[in-house]
Amino acid sequence: MSFDILVLAAGKGERMRSELPKPLQRICGATLLELVLNLASTLSEQAIVVLGWGGELVKEELKRLNKKVTIVEQKEQLGTADAVRVALPHIKKENAVVLYADVPLIKRETLSALIEEHTKSGADVTLLSAFVKDPRGYGRIIRKDDSICAIVEEAEIKEEKEKRNEIFTGVAAYRTGFLEKVLPLLKPSEKKGEYYLTDVVRHTKKISSVLCEEEEALGINEMEQLVKAESLLQQRLRAEAMKKGARMAAPELVYIEYGVEIEGECVIEPFCVIRRGVRIGKGCEVGPFSHLRKGTILKEGSEVGNFVETKNTVMGEKAKAKHLSYLGDSEIGAEANIGAGTICANYDGVAKHKTVIGKKASVGSGTVLIAPVRIGEGAITGAGAVVTKNRDVAPGETVVGVPARALKKSSKKR
């Protein structure tokens, strides 16, 4: 059975109190839209994305992500059914899975189970539902003799019996032919004047469903929910890192963004921040209180200690920077030692420049390296030295002072 993937990303998100379109809000360094599109890509090479409010900004994000997508614009915000209606001409396969850009925590295994159930059951609609402690804000699943007979949106709840704890996540699989037949029959809601996609279940008895975990069902409509989603995704990312061999004495005190690569058998101490675009090799040590920014690569056995910040920096095998340093746009050779308080001054007010430190070099405490500059293999800088730009230190040479100069060898006879 073939499927197209439809991602609804037209919402404004008024309750977010943000000028940023809701699909572009970030958790763990990734936009909500990116997370959902990555999920979609596990099932299909291309997704259909419906845009609305803030569409130009969302287009820029789609361009940045470089995903294969078909963009459809919902010019008026007339509800989820209308969003699917405008996308319907682009659905070419016999089934469609509808995802929402503000429901970013659905797991790949859950989506696969939904598709499997839809295929096996032959249903017109297969819904993804969840039992939640607090169902406020969600559409409620209404059952009769254990069979789903309706979904009632929060704004449309009239009777106490409709206030149930089984909610509809918004994610569902539909037969395309069924949507083509039913969508023109839907009427706008009495209260909001919108067309709800949930109303299609009233037009069929061929309904199936799959349950997911409560955390997967989290929809993001306000800042508090965004923060909760980030916390839940953090738990997953830390668990994945530990499965790969990362050892964390206090995982809840480590912040890891989406897309960090960890090879395993490394130690990550408390109070570290590890941004996306970082790669940590086997046997590395990180922290405590380290900040690894985009472009940081820690090669096997290297160590970054307390209050060290790195950005676009490669630490060679068994290289060490253990204390209070900033290493920006740097390449540090194997077994080099970076003393406490070292600063790679990479920005001159106009452009960023690179610092290269050779193998087994020793950079003294409090050294300032003004890029672009190169410290040769086995070279030494004295404590407090300031090595000015383009004043490279030769291999094996020792420099001291401000500005740093080569240390003259004593000619006194003994």
As a whole number of angstroms, the distance between CA 216 and CA 202 comes to 25
Strand 95-100 relative to strand 3-9: parallel, antiparallel, unpaired? parallel
Residue 41 burial (C-beta neighbours within 10 Å; 0-12, 13-18, 19+): middle
Could you say which DSSP state residue 352 is in? Answer: B
Nearest in space to 47 (alpha carbons), one of 77, 107, 5, 98: 5
Strands (E), 207-272: 207-211, 255-256, 261-262, 267-268
Pairing of strands 69-73, 362-363: unpaired
**Token pair in block for residue 120:** 């096996």
Whether residue 238 contacts residue 254, with contact meaning beta carbons closer than 8 Å, is answered with yes
Question: Beta-carbon neighbour count of residue 17 at 10 Å?
Answer: 8
- Among residues 90, 118, 291, 323, the one annotated as catalytic is 323
Give the three-class secondary structure for 151.
Answer: strand
Contact between 130 and 211 (Cβ < 8 Å): yes
Contact 212, 127 (CB under 8 A): no
Known active-site residue 203:
no
Residue labelled with tokens 């452009």: 351
Residues ≥6 apart with Cβ < 8 Å to 226: 16, 25, 27, 220
Q: How far apart are the C-alpha atoms of 353 and 330, rounded to whole Å?
A: 9
Structure tokens at 224: 């508090």
* Residues tagged active-site: 323
